[in-house]
Structures are given as structure tokens and as C-alpha cells.
């Protein structure tokens, strides 16, 4: 009887859809940042680096070394982490779909 009662309502596919859509979006954005095909991320990092140098010059510091967060390597690392999270979410959606 418990099986029939549980089967009558059935699991909601909304959780599967949320995980799948979130995984696809995270994977797409992560790969876009990691590979930087169009160069958008690199240009944004360059603008951040110039602003950092201008701000340090305005405050009287010489050299204006950019912060670690204003490097393209850091942005690519974040992209690869986001792509990994997207794959994890897609794996979770697949597992939830099979488990009902």
C-alpha cells in the first residue's frame, strides 16, 4: 500500500528541471569564461587592471601592481570551477531523474 500511495502523487519533475537548467547555464558560462573565445573576459580584466593602476597612482603609490583578482588567469580559474559545478549539477539531475 505504501508503494501505491507514493506512486499516486509521484515525484515532482521541477527539481530535475531546476538542476538541469542550472547545470547547463553554469557549464555554458564557465566554459565561456575558461576559454574566453571572444576575448570579452580579457578586455574586462585589462580595464580592471588599468583602473587599479590609476587608483593607486591617485593615492600616491608608485608602481600600481594589479591585484590577483585582476588577472585573466584568475578569471579562467573561476570559469573552470563554474564549469565543474555545472557538470556536477547535470550529474545530480541525471541521478534524480533515475531515482524518480
| For residues 63-87, average pLDDT | 80
pTM for the full predicted model: 0.64
Contacts of 29 (CB under 8 A, 6+ apart): 79, 82, 86
Half-sphere exposure in the Cβ direction for 27 (13 Å, CA): 12
pLDDT at 1: 45
pLDDT at 69: 67
pLDDT at 11: 64
Amino acid at each position: 500500500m505504501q508503494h501505491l500511495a507514493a506512486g499516486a502523487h509521484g515525484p515532482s519533475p521541477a527539481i530535475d528541471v531546476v538542476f538541469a537548467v542550472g547545470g547547463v547555464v553554469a557549464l555554458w558560462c564557465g566554459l565561456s569564461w575558461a576559454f574566453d573565445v571572444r576575448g570579452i573576459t580579457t578586455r574586462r580584466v585589462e580595464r580592471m587592471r588599468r583602473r587599479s593602476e590609476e587608483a593607486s597612482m591617485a593615492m600616491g603609490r608608485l608602481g600600481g601592481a594589479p591585484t590577483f583578482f585582476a588577472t585573466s588567469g584568475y578569471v579562467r580559474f573561476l570559469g573552470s570551477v563554474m564549469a565543474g559545478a555545472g557538470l556536477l549539477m547535470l550529474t545530480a539531475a541525471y541521478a534524480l531523474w533515475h531515482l524518480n
